[in-house]
Amino acid sequence: MARITSIKGRILYNSRGSKTIEIDVISDNKYLGRVCSPSGASVGKHEAISFPQNKPEKSLELLKNNEKKFHNLDSSDLKSIHDTLREMDSTPNYSKIGGSLAFALTIAAVDSASKALDIPLFKLLSKKTDHRFPFPLGNILGGGAHAGPGTPDIQEILICSTGSKTIRDAIETNLEVHKELGKILIKKDPTFTNGRGDEGGWAPKLKNDQALEVAAKACEELGFTLGKEVSLGVDFASSTQWNEKKKKYIYDRAGFENTPQEQIDFASEIIKKYKLVYAEDAVHEEAFEEMSALTKKFPHVLITGDDLLVTNTKILKKAVKLKACNGAILKVNQAGSLYDALEFAREANTNKIGIITSHRSGESTDAHISHIGIATKSKMLKVGVVGGERIAKLNELVRLAEYDLIRGMVEI
Ligand code: PEP
Ligand code: MG
């Protein structure tokens, strides 16, 4: 057993250049666990707040004043570390200490324990032996809150190499499609600047339907059949479009509005036309009934809640009761601590809800979520295709494939 001997924090910067915190947890005076917190741009109403009063410095100050409370705790004992954080902050959304502190401290603790015990993090988090690789799911074309004016309203068009048998093939296929799409965009518009959104997907001046067309074309030009070797997914991030006053989805860039029923039809058409394997937040974050209608209509598509569930076990229980989704995004910093997120994963797995462990649009170069995706038996790992902070997570999967500990891919 390794015991926490010191904890230190610092201000760093995420992939968007915004301030964030990094936490070092040291066990037995020598084993360093180090984690930097990510942050979202399209943020769910009920997710943990990043920092108290939006000030990372405040979280660090609180840590400094309370650091000794963590000394001597077993660094692999997530429950005790979580409970100690909860003594500092019992608010549902970590408004006192900030979810970023809960995120970084709990993951850094187990990172440090994995080094002290000399076992990979995913093994420490899940003692089971039947580990599998999740399918990488990556953003190839971005819009909405992740890209500038002129890009689609839809936040993300995603690629998943559903026919791959190995993790390397899955990563390389996604890379190939991303590259091919870049070529097609240049051909279509010679003034295209190769601009990319926050998660590395191309950010062209296109409407939603045109964007989906070119994404499908990229797959087909490579000789792939949609729904077979590769499949497309979409994160509609519909809360961005939802106007509570008008009770309508406002598609500013494309120039139309959808009633709740029209939004279901809009999403359904896209799911059918592009044979999507994955549809995230196709309706807004409080539209549980509409999510249920889509889940019933498309039992073989991962109808997934992100802003809908915000990695919150209580909300997931409500969604399960209403059959509002069959897929759940797991973003540790939405929940707060890793302990919270693993509880969420347990609930999802018990109820046969497919887990998609996910990055945030503002990321660090850490790769812990690759381990968390494996440990939680995630069906997919949503971490982008290109960009240093995205590739870091994919490269970690390639390294893990060198050990004979993970046997093949999960079943979607
Ligand atoms: C998402 O919405 O799924 C996402 C990754 O974006 P963000 O981190 O901005 O919430
Ligand atoms: Mg999302």
3-state secondary structure of 163: coil
pLDDT value for 412: 86
Write out residues with Cβ below 6 Å of ligand 1: 40-43, 235, 237, 306, 358, 360-361
What value does the mean pLDDT of the chain take? 97
Confidence of residue 129 (pLDDT cuts 50, 70, 90): confident
Structure tokens at 151: 């890009």
Cα separation, 293 vs 284, whole angstroms: 13
pLDDT value for 94: 98
Structure tokens at 324: 């509002």
Q: Whose CA is nearest to atom 5 of ligand 1?
A: 360
Residues 6+ apart with CB under 8 A from 86: none
pTM for the model stands at: 0.98
Give the pLDDT confidence of 308-330 residue by residue, as tens digits. 999 999 999 999 999 999 999 99
Cα separation, 293 vs 282, whole angstroms: 11
Cα separation, 226 vs 316, whole angstroms: 30
Neighbours of 213 (CB within 10 A): 16
Query: Is 199 in the active site?
Result: yes
Give the pLDDT confidence of 225-268 residue by residue, as tens digits. 999 999 999 999 999 999 999 999 999 999 999 999 999 999 99
Which residue of 39, 137, 154, 155 sits with most ligand 1 atoms within 8 Å of its CB, as the best mutation to test the pocket?
155
The better pLDDT of the pair 412, 212 is held by: 212
Confidence of residue 273 (pLDDT cuts 50, 70, 90): very high
Q: At 153, which amino acid appears?
A: D
pLDDT value for 128: 85
Question: Ligand 1: which atom is nearest the Cα of residue 146?
Answer: 9
Cα dihedral 19, 23, 24, 27 in deg (nearest 10): 180
Distance from Cα 156 to the centre of ligand 2, integer Å = 8
Distance from Cα 198 to the centre of ligand 2, integer Å = 13
Cα separation, 388 vs 374, whole angstroms: 21
Beta-strand (E) ranges in 155-230? 156-160
- All domains of the chain, ordered by start, with CATH? 4-118 (3.30.390.10), 131-409 (3.20.20.120)
Q: Which residue among 123, 207, 331, 377 is the active-site one?
A: 331
Distance from Cα 65 to the centre of ligand 1, integer Å = 32
Which residue of 50, 241, 330, 358 sits with most ligand 1 atoms within 8 Å of its CB, as the best mutation to test the pocket?
358
Query: Is 331 in the active site?
Result: yes
Q: Whose CA is nearest to atom 2 of ligand 1?
A: 42
Confidence of residue 403 (pLDDT cuts 50, 70, 90): confident
Question: Ligand 1: which atom is nearest the Cα of residue 155?
Answer: 2
Residue 300: exposure state from Cβ atoms within 10 A (0-12, 13-18, ≥19): exposed
Cβ atoms 282, 294 nearer than 8 A: yes
- In Å, how far are 15, 174, 181, 209, 399 from 218, measured between CA atoms? 27, 11, 5, 14, 28
Give the pLDDT confidence of 168-206 residue by residue, as tens digits. 999 999 999 999 999 999 999 999 999 999 999 999 999
Distance from Cα 236 to the centre of ligand 1, integer Å = 11
